Structure 1
Amino acid sequence: MYTREETIRRMNALGSAERPFFFVISHDLEHNLLFDPAAGGEERRASFSLPLGNMGSQNDSPPLPERICFTPCPCSLSRYAASFASVRNHLLRGDSYLLNLCVATPVETNLTLRHLFRFARAPYRMLLGADARIPGVHGRGCVCFSPEPFVTVRGRSVSTFPMKGTADASTPEAHFWLETDEKENRESATIVDLMRNDLSMVAADVQVKRYRYISPVETRGRTILQCSSEISGILPEDWRSRLGDVMMKLLPAGSVTGAPKEATCRAIAEAEEMERGFYTGVFGFFNGRDLDSAVAIRFMEENGKGLLYKSGGGITVMSRMEDEYRETIAKVYVPFDF
């Protein structure tokens, strides 16, 4: 387990040596893990799957149950309303103008963490602590099957892909609503502006390559539409020797915090009833030359009694509490591939 400063130094050293490693950075940036894929036994503690590389067994899971049970038990609307009211007070005071409010939902399921890692259909997957305790998650395991890339680097070209906006594709007007809803548009504009400014701290020639493109995400029995944007720039030639500095300057991820970041994170800590831990942090892989990373959303964690699914959504002064509650619960799903 590494602190923020230790993580920066270690990532800089590994990047300068062009030595491959996997990493997990917590939401608070102070409880971080680095894994050497060449070291034996790491697969007992963690497994990863990203476009640039894998670590640990990708197919090691018990057989799926003949009948799958996956039943969310959401918090009551009144409990969510209390957190929403706290967020709204901060928004009305001007402390924040966009805040991502998250909750933890218990799930009754006969699936294991290894089932979820093995069968979830997602470009970025992570499994921690299924067979051995991982410091920083209270001795509990967690799994993530994220659809959202955070930062990718190919050569010197760096890109980030903030995701803002979710709709159920079964609704005929879902695509049109995502494109035209004023609140969704303002959220995207805020986060794209924030991430463009963040990327400008580490890269030159920063441009919005794609603005608000919509992609489908398949889940069990339904399709969800997600709205994202792509922002790119050019890193300096020596970026690998400063890899830890580059990543920490961009964190925490704007799409799962809000803007402005510092004041918004304080408001989040006041409003939320849970510790985020690795949820809404980032995980990734540096292969010695290039980098993949993802925002740790679509996230489940053991709590000693069962599994908790952590999810959330962006809140602005235009948000309706009931709508935001429904969106947060709608994100409790598993994109299974079978």
Structure 2
Amino acid sequence: MSGYRPDVVEALPQMVADPPAAPTACHGRLTERARWQWRPTDGGDPAALTEAFLAAHGLPLHDLARPHPTGHDPDGLCGAALYISAAAGAHLTGGPTGAPNPTDLPEIAVVVYGHHDTPPDRTDPPAPWRPGPWTESWTPHQHATAVTAVREAIRAGDVYQVNLVGHARATYTGDPRPALARLGRLPGARYGGVLTGPGWAIGCASPETLIELRHGTLTTRPIKGTRPATAAGRTELLTSAKERAEHIMIVDLERNDLARVAATGTVQVDDLFAVRRWCDLWQAESTVRAQVADGLGLADLLRAVCPGGSVTGAPKLAALHHIAALEPVGRGASMGALGWVGTDHIDLGLTIRTAAADHTGLHVWAGGGITWDSDPDAEVAEAAAKTAPVRAALHATQPIALPT
């Protein structure tokens, strides 16, 4: 049985807050001021409620083209961490939310932070970390069968691409937060960090930008296409017609998502199919930018971009229906959004390469986009390659030597 319980986590020694995408200069100085969480049983419009909660705590985001005039206050309000699950994102876009969440987490969490001058004292060391073996939610054969089902749907003309995600769970004892923090330090983790709540914690090592807003410019950086980080793997990724077609399909979807909330005629694509490294993998990334439309609020922005196209498929709503039918376990903390809402910017990562801990255990997810050219066995192998560094970081009992 796990030693991590909702009634225990509050008694654990306080850790320095380090949520993904928080201002670097504020690391080690953040202190929680207010928190709001949402689950489907709470009802209401979660996007509108998120915007209203932030406005009530000094972050008015009803017109993103006109940022807060005071900017960041190094001695006062810093900003807020924002987490949105994949199921919540599907809810926002009007799609099916999929299989039940395997974790006891809220579907949305917002934590507002100020600053303190000295880090909190931690008099006791964390309890020894002992994770158990992984239990997969589907077998390689079941995964491959789901890939075949997507290919049949594509042949029938129901959909062009569907992202399939698998899940695994491990029991554990001890404090999971140092292990999740170690995950967040993996190389290439643009959104590395940890967000915690009563009875739960999320660790993120994501390299992918779901949505960023700075100085009036909206940016998303979809990632599609993966190969081993070798010279041969890079060449194979750059020359793969299948990977390029899959990638460009999602870039087009992201262009359409941004066009819904952008000033007319401002959407553009930069760095199409650029190859980046995450741990021991090459991945293809593009950059899509647009100028924010006047009067756009946070709630409408979240409705437009959640859930991310690179982890759903195209068309998005049709892909969500196939995901709900084929995935046996919900996506939990993965394939959603996690990042920072500041007084003058927004920066949310897509929660790939993400793990969560709750009273039921430790959870990880991984998957990939399925097109007509997908090979079922290759897709199973790709998902395993993506989750391997995550599992290794979580299971290490000593610090991992990371490459410089």
Whole-angstrom distance in 2 between the partners of 1:260 and 1:291? 26
TM-score, normalised to structure 2's length? 0.68
AA of the residue aligned to 1:15: L
- The reply on whether 1:283 has 2:359 as its aligned counterpart is no
Aligned-partner Cα distance in 1 for 2:347–2:193? 13
Cα drift, residue 202 of structure 1: 0.8
Alignment partners' CA distance in 1, 2:218 and 2:123: 33
- TM superposition shift of 1:64: 11
- Aligned residue in 2 for 1:249: 304
- Please give the alpha-carbon distance, in whole angstroms, between the structure 1 residues aligned to 2:203 and 2:124: 13
Counterpart selection for 1:83 from 122, 129, 146: 146
Equivalent pair of 2:181/2:193 in contact (CA under 8 Å): no
1:60 shift after superposition = 11
Give the distance between the partners of 2:151 and 2:124, measured in 1 at CA.
Answer: 43
1:169 counterpart = 2:229: yes
Q: Is the 8 A contact 1:27 1:252 kept in 2?
A: yes
Q: 1:4–1:194: structure 2 CA closer, same or farther, 3 Å change rule?
A: farther
CA shift, 1:200, in A, is: 0.8
| Distance in 2, Cα, partners of 1:250 & 1:143 | 22
Structure 1 position 24, deviation (Å): 1.0
Read off the aligned partner of 2:275 and give its amino acid letter. I
Does residue 183 of structure 2 align to residue 116 of structure 1? no
Q: Which blocks of at least 5 consecutive residues in structure 2 are unaligned?
A: 1-36, 69-76, 92-106, 394-399
**How do 1:101-180 residues align onto structure 2 when only pairs under 5 Å count?**
101-106=164-169, 113-120=176-183, 121=185, 122-129=189-196, 132-133=198-199, 140-170=200-230, 172-180=231-239
Matched, 1:269 2:269: no
Larger Rg: 2
**Which amino acid letter does the alignment assign opposite residue 221 of structure 2?**
F
For 1:60 and 1:278, the matched residues in 2 are separated by: 30
In the superposition, the TM-score normalised over structure 1's length comes to 0.80
CA drift of 1:150 comes to: 1.1
Amino acid at match of 1:33: A
Equivalent-residue separation in structure 1 for 2:289 and 2:61 (angstroms)? 21
Counterpart of 1:183 in structure 2 is 242
Moved more, 153-162 or 86-95: 86-95
What residue is the counterpart of 2:17 in the other structure?
Answer: none
1:156-207 CA distance string (max 9 Å, x none): 011100000111114x410011111111011111000100111111113110
Q: How many residues align?
A: 307
Alpha-carbon distance in 1 for matches of 2:327, 2:255: 27
In 2, the alpha carbon distance for the partners of 1:302 and 1:200 equals: 36
Q: 1:15 aligns with which of 57, 61, 64?
A: 61
User: Cα RMSD (Å) of the superposition?
Assistant: 3.1
CA 1:112/1:184 → structure 2, altered by over 3 Å: closer, same or farther?
farther
Question: Contact 1:168 / 1:225 at 8 angstroms: preserved in 2?
Answer: yes
Report the 3-state secondary structure (helix = DSSP H, G, I; strand = E; otherwise coil) of the residue aligned with 2:203.
strand
Query: Which residue of the partner structure matches residue 268 of structure 2?
Result: 207
Task: Provide the rounded CA distance (Å) in 2 between the counterparts of 1:106 and 1:297.
Answer: 16
Matched, 1:225 2:271: no
Q: Is the 8 A contact 2:47 2:303 kept in 1?
A: no
Matched to 1:118, the amino acid is A
Distance in 2 (alpha carbons) for counterparts of 1:25 and 1:115? 22
Task: Determine if contact 2:145/2:376 at 8 Å carries over to the other structure.
Answer: no
Question: Residue deviations 1:24-52, cap 9 Å, x none?
Answer: 11212253222111399xxxxxxxxxxxx
Give the 3-state SS of the residue equivalent to 2:332 in structure 1.
coil
User: For 1:244-278, what per-residue CA distance to the aligned partner results, in whole angstroms no more than 9, with x for missing partners?
Assistant: 21121121100000000011101000000111123
